[in-house]
Amino acid sequence: LQDNNNPFKSGFISIIGRPNVGKSTFLNRVVGQKIAIMSDKPQTTRNKVQGVVTTDHSQLIFIDTPGIHKPKHKLGDFMVKSARNTLKEVDVIMFMVNANEPIGGGDRFIIDMLEKTETPVFLVINKIDLVHPDDLLTIITSYTEEYNFAEIVPLSALNGNNVERLMETLTNYLPEGPKYYPDDQVTDHPERFIISELIREKVLHLTREEIPHSIAVVIEKIDREEERNIVNVMATIVVDRDSQKGIIIGKKGALLKEIGTRARRDIEMLLGSKVFLELWVKVQKDWRNKPGQLREFGFRE
């Protein structure tokens, strides 16, 4: 139904912010489905994940941009470059920060990146459930002294407080546009990426600091046996040190088995069929510093 006084609006919103400010939590809340993998460890989300929220009068397409931080190696450079490109192409940038932490070097690094963009930037102050309202003003001022934000929205992604207001304000900034995605579509990522993230999430949850967030999971094969409704998945967990391989495999293979069991359950839910999951662990030294290998592992500019 076309209403000329109230045209359909749509557009792209990039969520940026340093690790652990709550980008994935926010996305999961508004999209209402577990697509952006959450973790207490920083930077679980490396690829762009899109969540689509469609209402009667709007479609908001969110991009969960990987945590931008000062690059420490080539993977960092790569991410910063792709984040920069994303920022130019979107309609609104949501810069998410923690209400309960002072502005830090990571935030300033992002603000520096924003200086060159003409895209409107919202300052989204998350986790207001953790601070006293009196302290909120101090935090807000520390950011507004550094940058001229289009809007300032305090909220709690965890309990939903003020999230609806943000969604309305975002819609005000979107152009008149088409419905890019059908109503029922919440992500345009291929199953392959979601499956690798599910496996990576299990590795990170079941190990401690010894296993860095930078491990990669490569899906070697996804075969569907239609008549038996079984999907065979073969995946390789890529680490850079022998010691990490040992940790992931565990005593007599116990940990790898547990990773496999938990990942398989989630993949079965995702695909709606029985899954056989074959997991391998491979050591590939310094894979993060080799551009050719980044491409092989599915990172693209």
Considering only residues 107 to 136 of the shown chain, the ones binding ligand GDP according to CB under 6 A are 126-127, 129-130
Residue 140 and residue 49: Cα distance in Å, rounded? 28
**Tokens coding 215:** 């491990």
The reply to whether 20 sits near ligand GDP by the rule CB under 6 A is yes
The reply to whether 151 sits near ligand GDP by the rule CB under 6 A is no
| Helical axes 74-89 vs 105-114, angle rounded to 10° | 50
The reply to whether 202 sits near ligand GDP by the rule CB under 6 A is no
**17 labelled binding-site residue:** yes
Considering only residues 23 to 82 of the shown chain, the ones binding K ion according to CB under 5 A are 39, 44
Q: Which of 103, 158 has the CB closer to ligand GDP?
A: 158
| From 5-13, 75-83, 153-161, 169-177, span contacting ligand GDP (CB under 6 A) | 153-161
Helices (H), the chain: 23-31, 74-89, 105-114, 133-144, 163-172, 191-206, 242-249, 254-271, 291-296
Q: How many CA atoms lie within 13 A of 11 on its CB side?
A: 20
**236 labelled binding-site residue:** no
Residue 22 binding partner per list Mg ion, ligand GDP, K ion, none, with a CB distance cut-off of 5 to 8 Å that depends on partner kind = ligand GDP
Return the CA Rg of the chain.
Answer: 20
Q: Return the amino acid letter for 100.
A: N
Q: Return the amino acid letter for 103.
A: I
DSSP 195: H
Q: Which of 110, 281 has the CB closer to Mg ion?
A: 110
Q: Which of 40, 145 has the CB closer to ligand GDP?
A: 40
**7 labelled binding-site residue:** no
Sheet with 274-283: list strands edge to edge: 216-225, 230-239, 274-283
Q: Which of 99, 233 has the CB closer to ligand GDP?
A: 99
The reply to whether 19 sits near ligand GDP by the rule CB under 6 A is yes
The reply to whether 187 sits near K ion by the rule CB under 5 A is no
Q: Which residues bind K ion (CB under 5 A)?
A: 39, 44
Q: Which residues bind Mg ion (CB under 5 A)?
A: 23-24, 45
